[in-house]
Chain A
Amino acid sequence: MTHKQTWTIGNIAYWIGFTLFFIFTLFPLVWVGMMAFKTPVDIFAVPPKIIFTPTLDNFRDVLSGGDFLDYYRNTFIIAAGAVTLTLVVGTPAAYVLARYDFRFKEDLAFTFLSFRFAPELAVIIPLFVIFQRFNLYDNYLGLILIYQAITLPLLIWLMRGYFEDIPKDIEQAAKVDGAGWWQIFSRISIPLVLPGVAAAAVLAFIFSWNALVFGLVLGGRETYPVTIALLGYMGYQNVDWGPMAAATLITIVPEFILAFFVLRSLVRGLTFGAVHGG
């Protein structure tokens, strides 16, 4: 702050509000982060222990025993597959929606978007029967296909905006130079939106990584995603809080690292392109 800080009532209220919300946001993360390094005795200690001897037992437990790593791998295969398919299918569509005019263009764009706002179960319940008939139930390919409901609207709306951001003159000049449609698209437009492609792909990956209900209904023992593995740490009576906390950290830390790389595009991505900056 450039002007002199004065302790007016407004200023004190500001810092109280700021601190309270800061603690509210950070506390669960810190608490569960600590839990992951605690022994069961320390987890249930009264009064709660802030200072304790950290242990890696919970991580050892998660990574050695059980199927957590299988679920982790499943999530990676499904999310990476879904993002790849979406990039291939969605990027050209986004370009066409950004650069060409045709009848029902906006209706088509909004139909893609509408899957972001539709209740997932309205599509998933029929697919529960259809997938079993076509051997897509509990199958990576089946899940990659239905995850398009998450990734494709995001990619198309984000990429459309990024393509629209390219000044038309650049493409026009290339056209005048005799470049064909494909040359312009692949040599000029795509390189110019590459940062946007990366941001959209990372966000689509994170959203896929976070999804639950698709895997819950259409996945099975072979394909369950990590979100279902996490729920598995809660039995009916006893909960393995330590391993659950460790598994939680293993699940979210890669996401935080990925998100860090696209920090500047996050607000734009979270609003499907509606809000820039932030």
Chain B
Amino acid sequence: MSSVQNVEAARPTLESAGTLRPGAAPTRRWSSEQRLPYLLLVPALVVLVGLIVPFLIGAYWSLTDYKLTSSLPKNFIGLANYQTLLTSATFWNSVRVTFTYVIVVLAIELPLGLAVALMLNRQNRIVRLFRAVLILPLMMPPVVGALMWKSMMTPDGILNYLLGQIGIGPLQWLGSLQLALPSILLIDIWLYTPFSALVLLAGLQALPKEPFEAAMVDGASPWTSFRTLTVPMLLPFLIIVGTFRGIDSLKIFDLIYATTQGGPVDATNSLAIQTYFEAIRWTNFGTAMAYSIILWALCYSLAFYFIRRWRRAMA
């Protein structure tokens, strides 16, 4: 303590010494001390620029007729790629697949995650064990989750066997035009409902107790206090789950690539899958980047929307 006081006492002397000599030395020392932290931002900024520059180059390509395998130089064609997309059935099919995916994911994983979180919001050994189990799907590569389910969704696989026991099926699962997308969504729900549940559980555990006790004293039913207290107070957490799951669903790639690669026909051809094949299979880099930019714009609009709602919910 005394040493702190000594330094405090010494400080004015140091400062006045600085003003006594208004030369470069004290100013430089002060400013280098101040500049140093900002210099330490530089490496991260270099990486950031390294990521943004390719993106900008790609954004320019979306305005050209760039084809990787063509020997002709690429030409600037303005918005022609985008105009072509807006009249292309493939594009609108991808939009439909992607939006269906996002809406189903949010409509199921949010309420189901909340239900699971409510079930886990008590203290006993089974609940604690299950909480640990929930983490497993979240830690594995999505590709692994997809392959696990794919091995169970074969025509003579375990799922058809179990459904057969209760007189259903056999189903074609990933091979069926109607069921391919729902099958992938089932895998998504298995992989990511734990995310929703764990975040909402953290939310439930952070809720204050008093409003609920007051509501109980006032004779409110559990349903009423859930609707008027739990859900509104959980809103910031629901928005966070919505942000992560909504945007990850918009750019869904791994699960589909590992299961159907967009098929059968184009039943699961999301925007990201179509972007990939447009670039890597057909080498139409101009078109592929137009797809990317549209997907990027969708992701950012959703992110902005959610972040604004989140800030309002936190205020």
Contacts and interface: CB of A to CB of B under 8 A. Distances in A.
Nearest to A17: B119
Contact of A122 (B3, B115, B253, B292): B292
Task: Name B's interface SS.
Answer: helix
11 contacts: A89-B43, A108-B41, A119-B272, A122-B292, A126-B61, A129-B68, A178-B7, A212-B143, A231-B147, A234-B150, A275-B240
Contacts of A17: 115, 119
Contact of A117 (B158, B254, B276, B299): B299
A241 B151 contact: yes
B193 to A, nearest CB: 8
A204 interface: no
Interface in B32-74: 33, 36-38, 40-41, 43-48, 50-51, 54-55, 57-58, 61, 68
A89 B135 contact: no
B108 interface: no
Contacts of B279: 121, 125, 128, 217
Interface in A223-272: 226-227, 230-231, 233-234, 239, 241, 244-245, 248, 251-252, 255-256, 258-259, 263, 266-267, 270-271
A130 B37 contact: no
Given A115-B51, A122-B296, A213-B254, A96 B38 contact: yes
A95 B288 CA distance: 38
B240 A252 contact: no
Task: Name A's interface SS.
Answer: helix
Interface string A22-45: 101110110110010000000010
Interface in B140-182: 140-145, 147-152, 156, 158, 161
A173 B156 CA distance: 69
Contacts of B44: 89-90, 92-93, 112, 152, 156
Interface of B: 3-4, 7-8, 33, 36-38, 40-41, 43-48, 50-51, 54-55, 57-58, 61, 68, 115-116, 119, 122-124, 126, 130, 132-145, 147-152, 156, 158, 161, 190, 194-195, 198-199, 201-203, 205-206, 237, 240, 243-244, 247, 250-251, 253-254, 257-258, 272, 275-276, 279-280, 285, 288-289, 292-293, 295-296, 299-300, 303
Given A1-B122, A46-B156, A119 B141 contact: no
Contact of A230 (B47, B133, B144, B199): B144
Interface in A194-240: 206, 209-213, 216-217, 226-227, 230-231, 233-234, 239
A119 B295 contact: yes
A229 B36 CA distance: 45
A125 B289 contact: yes
Contact of A119 (B126, B199, B296): B296
Contacts of B285: 125, 129
A60 interface: no
Given A122-B296, A177-B4, A248-B148, A210 B140 contact: yes
Interface string A107-122: 0100110110111111
Nearest to B237: A275
A166 interface: no
Contacts of B147: 230-231, 233-234, 244, 248
A21 interface: yes
A145 B43 CA distance: 12
A121 B55 contact: no
B4 A255 contact: no
A28 to B, nearest CB: 5
Contacts of B296: 118-119, 122
